Amino acid sequence: MVGGCGPAAAAFECPRGDARPSRRRHRARGGGADGSSAAAARAVLECSLGARTRSGGRAGPDRDLAVHLLVDGAGSPDRGQPAPRDRSSEAEEIGRAGALTDTASTTATDFYARFRDQLAKAIIGQDGAIRLCAIALVAQGHVLLEGVPGTGKTLLAKSIARALTLDYARVQFTPDLMPADILGTSVYDLSTRTFALRHGPIFTNVLLADEINRAPAKVQSALLEAMEERGVTLEGQQLPLPAPFFVMATQNPIEYEGTYPLPEAQQDRFLFKVRLDYPTPADEMEVLRRWESGIELRDPVKAGVEPEFGAADIEACRAQVSQVVLDEKIRRYVVDLASATRAAPEIALGASTRAEVLLMLAARAEAAFDGSEFVTPDHVKALLAPAFRHRLILRPEAEVAGQTPDSVLDAVASRVVPPR
């Protein structure tokens, strides 16, 4: 039950679905002549309207009119007045919308719980990274995983691919890799004496770009069109990619030898930059225990990760997450945060408009996973660092002073007043 429904509804359960008295049923029971029946119908409708209002729906004159039409019988054919069909159907939609929003939150929460439980069989101590990857998947974004060697970046990506019953491909980026090795190329067929397009590994649902910063910029840029447009151009032909399309890229910190920094345009295509730190001593002890017991954690299949989510599950969760209410004040808060990064003295290049859009979409998924029917400033702040850190370029003096994108974002967030 979503909240209380007032003393008038003491004998009724607040409806979550489509349990509303119709005008025809009400007339059969005496219409407005029976005071108790009218009060009952009014109480049930008040519950539905209350759920709609709490989920960000309309309230006000339409609410009173809907109660008047259904309970008092105004405008019914019995009284010789034409029934306003649009108003009654609007009253029915009010109750349905309230139930839909609540169902969306429940389903998204369950989706994330099952997603987390599957990955926890192979990944230990990276709950934050797992949550961000789930949000990116639902928000139609891509993820850049960064961490020192041996912290589970590739294992996390392989485990996510295992949990999804989708096509999966892995590309190991190396200095001699060519764009055609990713996108595909034309191959001459001797039997037909014609050229035929051979699709590259990018034509898949889940793509793991392993150690993406070990390849030159021209190869990294080959992913630009695919990540943004969900399609590639080969031999002058525009070819769509399968849906859903989700890129997980791993990289080592740029101070390691043999790496190439990702260009700004490439980094801006990623929704999140997820940092995988060393596990806690307790988590590392658990890793050792599992290895001692014979569980080979480096292989998601041997670790017990099972394929559980298909394309239909992901699309259903995306549709339900889109029902989470996003108030105008929250939109303004997102814009203010991005504007503050551009005006900050420590930052040479601030967050882009694309960053604002992706942060807004991700905040919706965060709220749904949290079981909330609406986005709060806390949901936005929780995702600010992973959504913005890879898009910022600090000024040299800020870097010399030891500042990082995360520390600057903390200062920016403290200067922007959240809505109340």
99 and 124, same domain (yes or no): no
> Of the candidates 320, 339, 363, which is a domain's last residue?
320
CB 218 within 8 A of CB 177: no
255 and 282, same domain (yes or no): yes
Q: Does residue 59 surpass a pLDDT of 60?
A: no
Q: Which of 352, 365, 361, 409 is nearest to 386 (CA)?
A: 409
In a domain, 135, yes or no: yes
The count of structural domains within the chain is 2
In a domain, 418, yes or no: no
156 and 285, same domain (yes or no): yes
Residues 188 and 190: their CA atoms lie apart, in Å, by 6
- The type of residue at 384 is L
**Tokens representing residue 199 in the block:** 């699709």
pLDDT tens-digit map of 167-194: 899 999 998 999 899 999 888 888 888 8
In a domain, 74, yes or no: yes
Q: How many Cβ atoms from other residues are within 10 Å of residue 185's Cβ?
A: 15
**Separate counts of helices (H) and strands (E) for the chain:** 18, 11
Q: 240: helix, coil or strand?
A: strand
148 and 242, same domain (yes or no): yes
70 and 144, same domain (yes or no): no
38 and 140, same domain (yes or no): no
102 and 125, same domain (yes or no): no
Residue 84's pLDDT band (cuts 50, 70, 90): very low
Place of tokens 């399309």: 245
Which CATH number fits the domain that encloses residue 314?
3.40.50.300
159 and 301, same domain (yes or no): yes
Q: How many Cβ atoms from other residues are within 10 Å of residue 254's Cβ?
A: 11
φ/ψ (deg, to 5) at 242: -60, 155
> Of the candidates 267, 287, 320, which is a domain's last residue?
320
CB 252 within 8 A of CB 259: yes
26 and 94, same domain (yes or no): yes
In a domain, 73, yes or no: yes
**Tokens representing residue 55 in the block:** 């989920």
Q: To the nearest whole percent, how much of the chain has pLDDT over 70?
A: 74
Q: 168: helix, coil or strand?
A: strand
In a domain, 251, yes or no: yes
Name the range with the highest mean pLDDT among 33-37, 44-48, 203-207, 249-253: 203-207
The whole domain housing 143 covers 120-320
Q: Which of 306, 333, 352, 385 is nearest to 146 (CA)?
A: 385
Q: How many Cβ atoms from other residues are within 10 Å of residue 118's Cβ?
A: 23
- The type of residue at 165 is T
77 and 185, same domain (yes or no): no
